[in-house]
Chain A
Amino acid sequence: MDRSVPGRVGTIAPTLDVPAAPMPDPAFLRDDLPLPEVSEPEVVQYFTTLSQLNFSIDTHFYPLGSCTMKYNPKINDDMAFLAGFAGIHPLQPTAQAQGALELLYRLQDWLAEITGMANTSLATLAGAHGELAGVLMMRAYHLARGDAGRTKMAIPDSAHGTNPASAAMAGFEVVTLPSDADGNTDLVALRGLLGDDLAGVMITLPSTLGLFDTNILEVCRLVHDCGGLVYGDGANMNALLGRAKLGALGFDVCHLNLHKTFSTPHGGGGPGAGPVCCGDNLAQYLAAPIVIRTDGGDYEFSEPAGSIGKISSFHGNFGVLVRAYTYIRTLGADGLRSISGNAVLNANYLMHSLKDIYSLPYDRTCMHEVVFSADWQRERGVSGLEVAKRLLDYGFHAPTMYFPLIVHEALMIEPTESENKDTLDAFIGALRAIDAEATSNPELVQNAPHTTPVARLDEATAARRPVLRWEPEAAD
């Protein structure tokens, strides 16, 4: 608006080549809309400059723990933009969309293979949406068996906040499952929760501490023996690709975050995809629709017999599914296996290169991410948040802060497999430099960032008194 100059225009109205018509009743016309009067180059320059303020995986290292901000190969977009995929309509007769259905069918099959499950529904639109579908399936399973007294869902204290929210939305009472001193599920506490009122447990593997729960086989056995089910939060599947299958470990149902593990965009909260995979015991409850292949070789949408029903409009976020399909197809089984290998190697390299100066609450081999504590910096008056903000000045995205909640001053770093050793070394150098600054010049860190377009945002006021829409300044 502040660039508007009266009379400046960015378009040339074409010569009238249709019969003139009278203007509508002036009562329906208004001239008070604050539309900017600008030229085309000004508009282009304005939005291009804004886009250059973006911080993204295509411009910077982005080690945001738990989010798996890996590189998204451009071939994914090329395939999603193919006219046959991009131009398809969800209401098109399936006979005219057999290629698209075949892609969905194959993706269902591959995701089931990767997780060691029997079948997949692609209808869910985000990780938490997949969780909700998964726990609703667990509920349907118990109710179908007449086992209506199973009202409790046990969830570890290190879990993503979406887990208890999903369980509560599905009508379960959430009970907290503590972690033991090594960061594994506390088996003594779990035994105390077993009973005919336990619907199941929701486990993230590796955990949000970046650790492989070495008690997992025993957890699955104990829960199954008491009649419960085991849900797998697949947010951290990047660590397990081609190495371990949740189904083989004893999980009954899980979701995958395609925007994490399978390199689809994390764009602004959506569109996403959080497919649900499950074993034979739960397959009949999968969210509709799923794609089946008929004896004649045609592909059709189908609703499983005991389905929890439709959970989204149409067939899920198709464009995202095309990208994930492309990623799997591009890499193949060996490629997927090297992803987990490199993701785990990178995280352990960071852990070993920094644990002398950043406190490591759980000092054991990590998986795809490492959780430090900024406790040693805090002793010098510099908080985890301030270390994270200072990283921005060094050209790196901040790690996840203050999560998981069981780690004091948590800094959760996930390098992913995308980055090479040079980038990791530069990042290690930055964190070591910030630690030195915490001693030599703590104010420099406490007031960071100094080089970004905006410095400290007032998060507290933004949350307490949110302004949710832009309004033009009142005219004088």
Chain B
Amino acid sequence: MNPNDRSYTREHEWIIVEDAGTRRALVGITHFAQDQLGDIVYFELPKVGDTVAQLGKMGEVESVKAVSDLYSPVSGEVIEINSALTDRPELTNEDPFGEGWLVRVTMSDATELDSLLSAEEYNAFVAEQH
């Protein structure tokens, strides 16, 4: 269920490299994360131009159950946020790996990806949580 084309954090974010040359990548939260959160009602995302640090807090997600921190999978600069989430945060519930993406970043160091989990490792990590 977790796509093989991307990397994962233990905080339940994913990142997929869109363009290796410009180190452009897309970031979101996993299906497991949205399922645990329940109905998402609000995102507080970083602003375009903000710099984020690997595993540093980059924002918050609020659901009917709780408010949780969002962590950036890599260091870099935010170049776009998913503005569709402002009116429809439920997109992340409906399609966490696609339309419900959170931010687009330019990675400052692509080798940071090596420290993240593969889909297989993330599957095992999630299974361990239960």
Contacts and interface: CB of A to CB of B under 8 A. Distances in A.
A375 B129 CA distance: 12
Contacts of B41: 460, 463-464
Main secondary structure of the interface of A (DSSP, over half): mixed
A84 interface: no
Given A460-B41, A464-B42, A405 B66 contact: yes
A357 to B, nearest CB: 19
Interface in B35-94: 39, 41-42, 62, 64-68, 89-90
Interface in A375-413: 375, 401-403, 405, 408
A402 B65 contact: yes
B39 A161 contact: no
A459 interface: yes
Nearest to B66: A405
Contacts of B64: 459-460, 463
A402 B90 CA distance: 20
How many chain A residues sit at the interface, stated as a range, is 10 to 19
Interface string A113-137: 0000000000000000000000000
Contacts of A161: 66-67
Nearest to A379: B130
A405 B67 CA distance: 10
B89 A464 contact: yes
A463 B67 contact: no
A298 to B, nearest CB: 48
Of the candidates B64, B90, B130, the one having the most CB atoms from chain A within 10 angstroms of its own CB is B64
B66 A402 contact: yes
Contacts of A401: 65
B82 to A, nearest CB: 16
B91 to A, nearest CB: 11
Nearest to A410: B65
Contact of A459 (B39, B66, B90): B39
B107 to A, nearest CB: 25
A386 to B, nearest CB: 12
A455 to B, nearest CB: 16
B66 A464 contact: no
Contacts of A459: 39, 64
Contacts of A408: 129-130
A463 B66 CA distance: 12
A464 B67 contact: no
Interface in B90-119: 90
Nearest to B41: A463
Given A460-B90, A464-B89, A403 B66 contact: yes
A288 to B, nearest CB: 32
Contacts of B129: 408
Contact of B39 (A375, A402, A405, A460): A460
Contacts of B62: 463
Nearest to A409: B36
B65 A463 contact: no
A464 B65 contact: no
Nearest to A463: B41
Interface string A215-249: 00000000000000000000000000000000000
Nearest to A383: B38
A181 B55 CA distance: 24
B90 A463 contact: no
Nearest to B65: A402
A463 B129 CA distance: 29
A375 B130 CA distance: 9
B24 to A, nearest CB: 30
Interface in A163-191: none
A408 B38 CA distance: 13
Contacts of A463: 39, 41-42, 62, 64
Interface in A424-472: 459-460, 463-464
A464 B90 CA distance: 9
Contacts of A464: 41-42, 89-90
B20 to A, nearest CB: 34
Contacts of B68: 405
B56 to A, nearest CB: 12
Contacts of B39: 459-460, 463
A162 to B, nearest CB: 12
Given A463-B42, A464-B41, A464-B90, 5 more contacts: A375-B130, A401-B65, A403-B66, A460-B41, A464-B42
24 contacts: A161-B66, A161-B67, A375-B130, A401-B65, A402-B65, A402-B66, A403-B66, A405-B66, A405-B68, A408-B129, A408-B130, A459-B39, A459-B64, A460-B39, A460-B41, A460-B64, A460-B90, A463-B39, A463-B41, A463-B42, A463-B62, A464-B41, A464-B89, A464-B90
For the complex of A and B, list the 3 residue pairs with the smallest distance between their C-beta atoms, beginning with the closest: A460-B39, A463-B41, A402-B65
